[in-house]
Amino acid sequence: MNDCPARPAPELFTWEFATDPYPAYAWLREHSPVHRTTLPSGVEAWLVTRYADARQALADSRLSKNPAHHAGTANAKGKTGIPGERKAELMTHLLNIDPPDHTRLRRLVTKAFTPRRVAAFAPRVQELTDRLIDGFADRGEADLIHEFAFPLPIYAICDLLGVPREDQDDFRDWAGMMIRHGGGPRGGVARSVKKMRGYLAELIHRKRENPGDDLISDLIRASDHGEHLTENEAAAMAFILLFAGFETTVNLIGNGIHALLREPEQRERLQRSLAEGGTELLETGIEELLRYDGPVELATWRYATVPLTLGGQDIAAGDPVLVVLAAADRDPARFPEPDVLDLARSDNQHLGYGHGIHYCLGAPLARLEGRTALATLLTRLPDLRLAVGTADLRWRGGLIMRGLRTLPVEFGA
Ligand code: HEM
Three-state SS string over 128-192 comes to: HHHHHHHCCCCCCEEEHHHHHHCHHHHHHHHHHHCCCHHHHHHHHHHHHHHHHHCCCCCHHHHHH
Burial of 199 (0-12, 13-18, 19+ CB in 10 A): middle
Taking residues 235-254, what's their average pLDDT? 90
For ligand 1, the distance from its centroid to the CA atom of residue 8, given in whole angstroms, is: 34
Q: Is residue 5 part of a domain?
A: no
CA distance 58 to 358: 8
Q: Is residue 260 part of a domain?
A: yes
Q: Is residue 236 part of a domain?
A: yes
Predicted local distance difference test score (pLDDT) of residue 74? 41
Q: Is residue 7 part of a domain?
A: no
- Pocket of ligand 1 contains residue 81 by CB under 6 Å: no
**In this structure, what DSSP letter does residue 74 have?**
T
CB 183 within 8 A of CB 397: yes
Predicted local distance difference test score (pLDDT) of residue 223? 61
- Pocket of ligand 1 contains residue 157 by CB under 6 Å: yes
CA distance 146 to 401: 17
Q: What number does the ligand 1 atom closest to the CA of 290 have?
A: 19
- Pocket of ligand 1 contains residue 255 by CB under 6 Å: no
Q: Summarize pLDDT for 268-315 with one digit per residue, the tens.
A: 999 999 999 999 999 999 999 999 999 999 999 999 999 999 999 999
| Total count of domains within the chain | 1
Higher per-residue confidence, 244 vs 257: 257
Q: Report ipTM (2 d.p.).
A: 0.99
Q: How far is CA 137 from CA 188, 289, 376, 379, 405, in A?
A: 33, 24, 12, 12, 21
CB 390 within 8 A of CB 262: yes
Predicted local distance difference test score (pLDDT) of residue 185? 47
Q: Is residue 163 part of a domain?
A: yes
- Pocket of ligand 1 contains residue 154 by CB under 6 Å: no
CA distance 411 to 401: 28
- Pocket of ligand 1 contains residue 362 by CB under 6 Å: yes
CB 50 within 8 A of CB 331: yes
For ligand 1, the distance from its centroid to the CA atom of residue 25, given in whole angstroms, is: 22
Q: Is residue 75 part of a domain?
A: yes
Of all residues in the chain, what percent are helix, strand and coil, respectively (each to 5)? Answer: 55, 10, 40
Instruction: Say if residue 241's pLDDT is above 50.
Output: yes
- Pocket of ligand 1 contains residue 106 by CB under 6 Å: yes
Q: How confident is the model at residue 237 (pLDDT cuts 50, 70, 90)?
A: confident
Cα angle: 86, vertex 58, 26; to 5 degrees: 100
For ligand 1, the distance from its centroid to the CA atom of residue 186, given in whole angstroms, is: 24
Q: Is residue 165 part of a domain?
A: yes
CA-nearest residue for atom 3, ligand 1, is 245
Select from 228, 117, 212, 209 the least CA-distant residue to 165: 212
> What are 410's strand-pairing partners?
141, 385
Instruction: Calculate the average pLDDT of the chain.
Output: 89
Query: Domain holding 198: CATH number?
Result: 1.10.630.10
Q: Is residue 174 part of a domain?
A: yes
Q: Is 221 helix (H, G, I), strand (E, B) or coil?
A: helix
- Pocket of ligand 1 contains residue 301 by CB under 6 Å: no
The total number of residues written for the chain in this structure: 413
Range(s) of the domain holding residue 172: 15-409
- Pocket of ligand 1 contains residue 248 by CB under 6 Å: yes
Cα angle: 360, vertex 364, 369; to 5 degrees: 110
Q: Summarize pLDDT for 318-354 with one digit per residue, the tens.
A: 999 999 999 999 999 999 999 999 999 999 999 999 9
